């Protein structure tokens, strides 16, 4: 996927098949130990920027929902993560929760960094961090990157 394919998609649609991406491109996206998007690449798309600045709990909740279910089939804008974020923001401690979740995202995808760096980014540039995390989760959970995923109803009973 060329840089032109590095376009944020709020909701999955017109999903390409796994074969449409070359193995080199897949390896570059999935094995990249750095963020695919810069922290300061936060002005595009405008809708995500607006949501992250005005309603950060919704952006945070969507990212966490995407990490659980990349298809967002059961996504609800007001979810548990959104409520926790909102509650913590009343005492200005939402950055602690974001630091924890950012670290989990980094560990899940093998992105280099540290808890200290996550803390500084979440505290000082929370909105930019939310945008970076959502864009990173979106690109790394695309079907052409992850390949075929067995549907839950097709799972073999244990």
pLDDT tens-place values along the chain, 158 residues long: 454 466 676 665 544 443 445 556 666 766 778 888 888 887 888 888 898 899 999 999 999 999 998 888 888 989 999 999 999 999 999 999 999 999 999 999 899 999 999 999 999 999 999 999 998 888 888 766 655 555 555 556 66
Predicted structure pTM score: 0.77
To which residue do tokens 């193995």 refer? 23
Domain boundaries, the chain: 37-145
d(CA 26, CA 114): 25
């Amino acid at each position: 996927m060329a840089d032109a394919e590095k376009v944020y998609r709020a909701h999955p649609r017109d999903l390409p098949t796994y074969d449409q991406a070359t193995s080199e491109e897949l390896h570059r996206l999935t094995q990249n130990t750095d963020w695919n998007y810069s922290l300061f690449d936060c002005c595009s798309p405008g809708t995500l920027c607006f949501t992250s600045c005005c309603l950060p709990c919704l952006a945070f909740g969507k990212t966490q929902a995407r990490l659980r279910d990349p298809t967002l089939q059961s996504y609800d804008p007001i979810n548990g993560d959104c409520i926790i974020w909102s509650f913590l923001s009343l005492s200005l401690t939402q950055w602690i929760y974001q630091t924890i979740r950012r670290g989990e995202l980094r560990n899940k995808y093998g992105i280099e960094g540290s808890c200290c760096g996550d803390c500084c980014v979440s505290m000082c540039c929370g909105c930019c961090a939310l945008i970076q995390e959502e864009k990173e989760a979106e690109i790394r959970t695309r079907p052409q990157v992850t390949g075929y995923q067995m549907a839950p109803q097709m799972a073999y009973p244990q």
